[in-house]
Structure formats: structure tokens, C-alpha cells
Structure 1
Amino acid sequence: MILIDHPYVSDFLIETIKNNNFPVVATKASKELITNNSLNWVSETEAVQKFKENPNQLIYSNSENVISWVENNLNFTNLPSKIEVFKNKIKFRELLKDVYPNYFFKGVKYEDLNTININNLKFPFIIKPSIGFFSLGVHKVDEPSEWTEILEKIHKEINHIKGFYPNEVLNTNNFIIEECIEGEEFAIDCYFNTNGEAVILNIMHHIFSSGKDVSDRIYSTSKEIIETNLPIIQPLVNTIGLKTDLKNFPIHIEVRIDKNGTIIPIEVNPMRFGGWCTTGDISWYAYGINSYKYFLEQKKPNWNEILKTKENKIYSLVLLDNNSGIEASNIESFNYEQLQKDFEKPLILRIIDFNKFPVFGFLFTETTKGNEIELTTILSSNLTKYITPKSNNVW
């Protein structure tokens, strides 16, 4: 069963639903996003009844906006409690406290940020909303002298992003301050099957332009990334599943792995793979893995076979977030044609209305090893080369 909600559903996911006759819940939001009446629509009442008859019903969502629907309609299942553990970063840290006893974290109310004693904190640290999404409101603080400036940025960002997402997805009332985890960052799509076994469907390297960068601009996957990190990541995923007794449950995990191979989770996003149909979709373009079908049909990737033909190729998800410093109201257009010309092999471009969301779109690419310059260039770009301002504005 699939729950669809805003802000976005991809054509690929819709086609997957249609071609496999997967039941999709006919909520108001799903009907707004999908106009195809030939899908296997089930009413909300029927969906709830299916869970009463079988609490282990498989369910996938494209968006965490459905969390309130789950809480309101499926409160007789264990889904709301599982979701809460993962969405609340403070509760998640408490869950793993015995696994990482020396890891520093602290919960702080938003209104108390101005009065917090900065001298009692361990530097460097990361501060972010305890219930968050899309790196919104996330900052790295290297030393006490930076605190005042970063606090001002947080206040400005919070005022800007209020209303973009429901409180269940992004809630800025509480923040978490936690020690900065050194190492490379990775994002993992996986699910736990009916026996509680963890099945990894994709591993992507989250690339940053600098130590201060906390954006989501580029995620890349390749044969090397999968083969090198699968043995390190699998045990942690197994531990998370055991700690929470997960079964029939998809998740998106972000972790850091240091130079010694030590792995520490950053966060876990429940009931879905990467947001905005990103990492779940790119698995198909990169490896021929339909992550949604694999979960709903309880299939496992044969990585040895899949990676045989993937030598010297890098598959990337490029998030075109508006980091230009130019307000959307001052932008006339974005040159998507020029953007694609700057890449060796664009696979698919998804255009987003930048007046509604602080994002121009998403680009999936295939890059030959040795040509990573196209990735490092877009990684540090403020995207102004693609932006045409409105005629009455100068910047």
C-alpha cells in the first residue's frame, strides 16, 4: 500500500504504482497530485480496515507529510511510535545512547537559544531542528566567536521556512546540539522485511564543498561506493532494526564514517526513501533497482551481479537549491537548458516551481570517472550563471 502526499511525486513512482497495480490510498492530497483514475485506488476507510485485518501490512510513503494521517488513522498500530523515535532526533540519540555512550548531544528550546551558555558546549558542534528536513536550519559551529552570527542566521531562516512543511516534518520549536561527527557522509535507502532482516537498496556519498557546507547539493553512488561501504553500513542498519524491532518498514538513513571505519548515524527518516522521490528513483537509473517494488515485493538486490557493468561510472543526484542569495520574487527564470549542457550525460531533469519552494529542481546524471570536475563545479556554484533576474532588479 502506498500513501502519497505533497510536495512532490515523480512520474517514475506513479508508473511503478500503475504497472504493478499497487494499492494507493485515495487521500485528498494524493488525488491532487495524481490525476490517473485507472490506478488501484483504495479509500481511506478501506486502507484502515486493511490494517485492522493485517497490522503487518506493507506501507510506503513518498513524503513525511503523511505522518499526521498515520497518527490519526493508524494509531492502533505501532507505526506512530516507530515514526516518533526516528523523527525526533533527541529521542533517536537516546535510543542509541548505550551504543555510543561518549557521544555528546543536548536538546534546547528555540526560545532558549539566546540565553544558552556557550562555554558549556563541546566545539565544534552541529545545531539543527530536532524534527527537521532538507538541511533546513542546520549549522556547524567551530568556535564560540561564531555563535552570535549563526544564531542570527538561524532566526532569519526560521522566519523564512515557516509554513513550507507540516510540524510533523519540520518543527523549529526544539533544537538539538550535538558533537560534530568527522568523516565522510552517506545516505542509505533500505527496508526491514517481514522477518526483521535489513535489506540495503542504495548507498550514496553525500559530498560537501567545505567543512562548513551542510547543504544537500550532491549525492553520488557508484560500484566503488557500494562495495566499499556495504560491509560497514550493514551492521549498523541491523542494530537500528534490533533496537526498534522494525519489520515491514522502509527507512532512509544518514551516517558518517571516519577514516578508521567507525560509523555513527546522523538521523533516520521513517516510512520512505530519500525525500522528493530522489534516492529511491535514482536507484533505477543507476542500477535498474526499483526500490519501491523491491520493498513492496520483499526483494533483495544481487549486488555482485548488478555491479558487474558499473565500472568507472558515477551516478549523482544534484539538488538545485536556491543558494544564490536572490529572493525568488526577484527571479525571472532559470536556464535549465544551459544547466544540462554543463553535464556529460544528464539522465533526467525535474523542474520545481522556485516560487513555491526554495529549489529550482533536481538533476540525475551519469559521470565517467575522471570527469568529476562537472560535479565539483556545481557543488560550489551559487547557480547565478543560470538565473535571469527580473528587469527591474539589479544584483
Structure 2
Amino acid sequence: MIFVDKPYISDFLRKTIKQNGFPVVKTEIAEKLGFNNGLNMLDEEKAIQQAKSSENILIYTTSENAIGWIAKHLSSTKLPKKIELFKDKAKFRTLIEPMYPDFYFREIQLYELDDLSLENIPMPFIIKPAVGFFSMGVYKVTGPGKWEQVKEAIRTEVHRAKDLYPTEVLNTKSFIIEQCIEGEEFAVDAYFDAKGDPVILNIHKHIFSSNEDVSDRVYISSKEIIENNIDQFYAFLKEIGRLSGVRNFPVHAEIRRDRNGSVLPIEINPMRFGGWCSTADAAHLAYGFNPYVLYFSQKRPEWKEILKNKEGKLYSIVVLDNSTGIEGTQIASFDYDRLLSNFEKPLELRKIDYEEYPVFGFLFTETKEQNIFELERVLKSDLKEFITVSE
């Protein structure tokens, strides 16, 4: 069964649901999002009974907003606690301590920020909500001076984001401090099958504009990225599956490889692939298969065949987050046509209501490796060049 919820449902996922007859749980928000007549709708009581009667039922959520429904209605099953193992970053770090016994982390409350002593905390460190989403409240602290700036930025962002997501998705009362993991960063869509074996559906490399950058602006996938990493990432996820005991469980893993070649997790997001229907849909645009169908049919991508004739091509997701420093309500327009003119082969542009959410849209592109400069350009842009401010 599928739970649909805000903030976004792509046309591709809507068509996938309709064409395959996937059951959609008939929640109030599902009906508001247009999921009703002509679709395989499953009323909430039937969904509850099915989930209770089958321990490893196949469930997918389009958004972590649906975690609240699962926590409330399926509390008698093992699923809410499995989700919490991953969603709560402090609990996740505790889960994987056997894999990384020397990794530093600690949980603090928002009200403890001013009294926190930096004396025994390794520099640099990352601070982020223990239950978070979409890089909100994520900061890198390089020293005492930076810490004062970060505390003020956290308070400002907490106030701005307090009504955007349910507390099961973004809870800014509790934060986790952890040592900074240096190295290449990757985003991996996968699911654990009925036996707990991981199936990798896509790999993106997350690129940054600087060492201070923690934004979600550009993710790149390619034949080389997948072939060079899939075996190691499979082994990593296999161990995560062993520790957590999850089955029939989709995930979006964010991981880093340090300078010694070791893989360390940043976080693993439960019950979904990339947020906003991003990375899963990107796999279809780039490689032609449907990750949602593979999950529900318990099949694996035939990567050897899929990656034929993909040499020299980069498939990217450009997250057009509002980095202008100007509130969306103060922006009259965003010049999407001008943005598109900066890319050789846009595959799809998704415009987002930037007055409601702090993002202008998502752009999927195909780029020749020699033209990577077009990705580097948007990576460094604050996007002010594309906006018109209200008078």
C-alpha cells in the first residue's frame, strides 16, 4: 500500500500508481491531493487491518508526513519502532555504534544551546535536528566564533520552519551533535527485501560549492558513480539490515566515504526514496526503469544492461532551494526560462510554490561530462539572478 502526503506528488508517481493499480490509503490528505475515483483506494480501517495481519506488508510513503499516521494507527505493530530507529538520529547512531565505536555524537535540547561547552567536542562538528528533513537546521561548526553565528541561525530557522512539517518529520526541540565526516557524499535509494537483503535502485553523488556548504543543491548520477560504488554500498546496507532487522523497507541513505575509503552514514531516511519524488523519478529519467514498480514487485535493476551506452553522461538533480536570503512572499517571480537556458539538456522542470515552501523547484538534467561547468555554476549561485522582488 502507498501513503501519499504533502509536500509533493509527481505526475510520474501518479501515473505509476494508476497504471499498476497500487492501493492508496484513503486518508483525508490523499483525497485532497486528488486520489479518489478511478484508483485502487484502500480505506483507513482496511489498511490498518492489513498492516496488522501481515508483519512484512509492502508499504511506501511519498513523504515522511505519513509517519504520523503510521505511528498513531499502527502502534501495535513493529513498524513505528523500526521507523523511529532510522528517523531519530540519536537512536540511529546508537543502533550503529557496533559498526563505528569511536564515532562521537551526543543529543542536546534546544534550550541547552547557550550553556553548551565546546571543550570536549571535536572540531569541526555538525549540529542538526534529531528528527529532521531537507537540510533544515543543519550547520557545520568550525570554531567558537562560528558557534555563536550558528546558534542565532538555528533560532531563526526554527521559528521559520515550525509550521512546515509534522513533528514526526521535523522536530527542532532536540538536536544531535556529531563529529564531522569528511569525504565524498552520496545519496542512495534502496529497499530491504522480504529476506532483509538490500536492493540498490540509484546512487547520486552530492557535490558542494565549498567545505562550509551543507545545502542540497546538486546531486549527480552516472555509469561511473554507480559502478564504482555499488558493491561497497551494498555491503554497508547489508550490515545496517542485519542490525536493524528490517524487511520490505524502502530507504534513502545519505553516506560519506572518508579519505581512508571507509563508508559512514550521515543518516538513513525510512519508508521512502528521495524526498519530493526526486531521486526515484530521476532513476526513471536517467536509466529508464521504475523504482516504485521494482520495489512492489521485489525485483532488482539489471545494472549491467541498464548502464550500456551511458558513458560520459551525467544525470543530475538540481534543487532550487531559496538561497536568496529573501522570503518567498517578497518574491514576485522566478525566471525559469532563463534558468533552463543555462543547461544543455533539461529533462524535466518541476515548479514549486516558493511562497509556501523554501524552494523554487527541481530541475532534472542530462549533461556531458565536459560540460560539468553548468552544474558548478548553479551550485555556486544564490539564485538572486533569477528572481524579481515585489515592490
Please report the TM-score for the alignment, with normalisation by the length of structure 2: 0.98
Q: Give the residue type in structure 1 aligned to 2:22.
A: F
Aligned partner of 1:247 in structure 2 is 247
Aligned mates of 2:243, 2:98 — CA distance in 1 = 11
Aligned partner of 1:72 in structure 2 is 72
Matched ranges for 1:69-108 at <5 A: 69-108=69-108
Matched ranges for 1:127-206 at <5 A: 127-206=127-206
Q: Give the residue type in structure 1 aligned to 2:107.
A: G
> Do structure 1's residue 115 and structure 2's residue 115 form an aligned pair?
yes
Aligned mates of 2:6, 2:328 — CA distance in 1 = 20
Aligned mates of 1:323, 1:31 — CA distance in 2 = 33
Aligned partner of 1:5 in structure 2 is 5
Aligned partner of 1:267 in structure 2 is 267
Aligned partner of 1:222 in structure 2 is 222
- Contact 1:119 1:144 (C-alpha < 8 Å) held by counterparts: no
Aligned mates of 1:225, 1:147 — CA distance in 2 = 35
> Do structure 1's residue 42 and structure 2's residue 42 form an aligned pair?
yes
SS in 1 for 2:77: coil
- Contact 2:331 2:387 (C-alpha < 8 Å) held by counterparts: yes
Q: Give the residue type in structure 2 aligned to 1:152.
A: E
| Alpha-carbon shift at residue 36 of structure 1 (Å) | 5.3
Q: Give the residue type in structure 1 aligned to 2:114.
A: N
Matched ranges for 1:281-360 at <5 A: 281-360=281-360
Aligned partner of 1:125 in structure 2 is 125
Query: Deviations along 1:261-312, whole A, 9 cap, x unmatched?
Result: 1110010100000010001110100111211111000010111111012111
> Do structure 1's residue 26 and structure 2's residue 26 form an aligned pair?
yes
SS in 1 for 2:7: coil
Q: Give the residue type in structure 2 aligned to 1:158.
A: V
* Structure 1 gap segments, 5+ residues each: none
Q: Give the residue type in structure 2 aligned to 1:367.
A: T
Aligned mates of 1:72, 1:18 — CA distance in 2 = 27
- Contact 1:48 1:74 (C-alpha < 8 Å) held by counterparts: yes
Identity %: 52
| Alpha-carbon shift at residue 145 of structure 1 (Å) | 2.2
- Contact 2:209 2:376 (C-alpha < 8 Å) held by counterparts: yes
RMSD: 0.9
| Alpha-carbon shift at residue 367 of structure 1 (Å) | 0.4
Aligned mates of 1:329, 1:31 — CA distance in 2 = 28
| Alpha-carbon shift at residue 259 of structure 1 (Å) | 2.9
Aligned mates of 1:153, 1:128 — CA distance in 2 = 12
Q: Give the residue type in structure 1 aligned to 2:96.
A: L
Aligned mates of 1:251, 1:89 — CA distance in 2 = 14
> Do structure 1's residue 369 and structure 2's residue 362 form an aligned pair?
no
SS in 2 for 1:120: coil
| Alpha-carbon shift at residue 35 of structure 1 (Å) | 4.6
Aligned mates of 1:176, 1:121 — CA distance in 2 = 12
Q: How many residues matched?
A: 391
- Contact 1:252 1:270 (C-alpha < 8 Å) held by counterparts: yes
Query: Deviations along 1:185-204, whole A, 9 cap, x unmatched?
Result: 00000001111111000010
Structure 1 moving runs of 4+ over 6 Å: none
- Contact 1:86 1:269 (C-alpha < 8 Å) held by counterparts: yes
- Contact 1:189 1:279 (C-alpha < 8 Å) held by counterparts: yes
Aligned mates of 1:176, 1:301 — CA distance in 2 = 35
Aligned mates of 1:152, 1:245 — CA distance in 2 = 40
Q: Give the residue type in structure 2 aligned to 1:98.
A: P
Aligned mates of 1:85, 1:54 — CA distance in 2 = 20
Q: Give the residue type in structure 2 aligned to 1:138.
A: V
Aligned mates of 1:35, 1:140 — CA distance in 2 = 40
- Contact 1:24 1:40 (C-alpha < 8 Å) held by counterparts: yes
| Alpha-carbon shift at residue 56 of structure 1 (Å) | 1.7
> Do structure 1's residue 386 and structure 2's residue 386 form an aligned pair?
yes
* Structure 2 gap segments, 5+ residues each: none
Aligned mates of 2:257, 2:43 — CA distance in 1 = 44
**Range 27-36 or range 325-334, more displaced:** 27-36
Query: Deviations along 1:306-361, whole A, 9 cap, x unmatched?
Result: 10121111000010000001121221100111111111100011110000000100
| Alpha-carbon shift at residue 260 of structure 1 (Å) | 2.5
Aligned mates of 1:81, 1:357 — CA distance in 2 = 29
- Contact 2:26 2:36 (C-alpha < 8 Å) held by counterparts: no
Q: Give the residue type in structure 2 aligned to 1:79.
A: L
Query: Deviations along 1:73-105, whole A, 9 cap, x unmatched?
Result: 112221100011101100000111111011000
SS in 1 for 2:199: strand
Aligned mates of 1:388, 1:36 — CA distance in 2 = 38
SS in 1 for 2:114: helix
Q: Give the residue type in structure 1 aligned to 2:204.
A: M
Aligned mates of 1:50, 1:329 — CA distance in 2 = 43
